[in-house]
Amino acid sequence: KAGVTQTPRYLIKTRGQQVTLSCSPISGHRSVSWYQQTPGQGLQFLFEYFSETQRNKGNFPGRFSGRQFSNSRSEMNVSTLELGDSALYLCASSSLVNTEAFFGQGTRLTVV
Amino acid sequence: DQQVKQNSPSLSVQEGRISILNCDYTNSMFDYFLWYKKYPAEGPTFLISISSIKDKNEDGRFTVFLNKSAKHLSLHIVPSQPGDSAVYFCAASATGGADGLTFGKGTHLIIQP
């Protein structure tokens, strides 16, 4: 069974630009969550999607948004990038039973 | 306000001995707890979880203990092996499952030969 796939693995963007990250969950998993990992703040929850609906949202500004498609694939978008948005962005998927969340390898975003 | 705290940034243990990683939480609504292991440049890997209706869960070398009154959980690894060297994250949720997780900042476990 293929794991959670995140693309791209690495990304360099300039301040003010926008970026879209992609996540393909494990086949059959309908819940996709996004997390931001930075050295200072650790792993922080961004939002969670289930069946194309945002079910849960963390404490991030509106520049961070996401969506989920009918095949459960998810994208997250960050607009008007700031230097502080440089981080590892992790996607996790879980099944209906929801007792484990499986993480992808992450997308390393660098804002210059 | 950090709702999940791992107060030891690092821990060094000899190979073959027991590793004990600790985690404290403040939110009494948390009802599901998980431990993850993370290597550099990889996503976290799920290790073990525990529901708030239990006080212990065991899986091979890994055991998680939950003390709800103290709002404390711990992960025991016995015996510790070199491959266990990694950063360990404690996570909690108030949804009864593994979504909307609140993570601690991690403990870097170093297993010494």
Cβ–Cβ gap A44/B103 under 8 Å:
yes
A97 vs A77: CA distance, rounded Å: 28
CA B101 to chain centre: 13
The answer to whether B95 contacts chain A (CB < 8 Å) is yes
Query: Per-residue pLDDT averaged across B41-62, rounded?
Result: 94
Look over chain A and give the mean of its residue pLDDT values, rounded to a whole number. 93
Radius of gyration from C-alpha coordinates of chain A: 13
Query: Per-residue pLDDT averaged across A71-77, rounded?
Result: 97
Q: Residue A73 — very low, low, confident or very high, per pLDDT cuts 50/70/90?
A: very high
- Rounding to the nearest 10 degrees, give the CA dihedral for residues A75, A76, A79, A84: -140
Could you tell me which of A85, A66, A107, A75 has the C-alpha nearest to residue A14?
Answer: A85
Distance from the A8 Cα atom to the nearest Cα atom in chain B, whole angstroms: 14
A50 vs A70: CA distance, rounded Å: 10
User: Does B29 have pLDDT greater than 80?
Assistant: yes
- Residues 70 through 89 of chain A touching chain B, CB cutoff 8 Å: none
Could you tell me which of B60, B102, B105, B24 has the C-alpha nearest to residue A41?
Answer: B105
A95 vs A83: CA distance, rounded Å: 34
Tokens of B110: 């170093």
**Among candidates A42, A90, A103 on the partner chain, residue whose Cβ is nearest the Cβ of B104:** A42
The answer to whether A43 contacts chain B (CB < 8 Å) is yes
Query: Per-residue pLDDT averaged across B73-97, rounded?
Result: 94
> According to the model, what pLDDT value does residue A97 have?
66
Q: Residue A3 — very low, low, confident or very high, per pLDDT cuts 50/70/90?
A: very high
pLDDT in tens, A26-41: 999 999 999 999 988 8
Look over chain B and give the mean of its residue pLDDT values, rounded to a whole number. 94
The amino acid at residue B25 is Y
Distance from the A101 Cα atom to the nearest Cα atom in chain B, whole angstroms: 6
- Residues 67 through 86 of chain B touching chain A, CB cutoff 8 Å: none
CA A73 to chain centre: 11
The chain A residue lying nearest B105, using CA atoms, is A42
φ, ψ (nearest 5 deg) of residue A84: -70, -5
The chain B residue lying nearest A105, using CA atoms, is B43
The chain B residue lying nearest A101, using CA atoms, is B98
Could you tell me which of B111, B108, B91, B112 has the C-alpha nearest to residue B21?
Answer: B108
Q: Residue B79 — very low, low, confident or very high, per pLDDT cuts 50/70/90?
A: very high
> According to the model, what pLDDT value does residue A102 have?
92
Q: Which residues of B touch A54 (CB under 8 A)?
A: none
The answer to whether A104 contacts chain B (CB < 8 Å) is yes
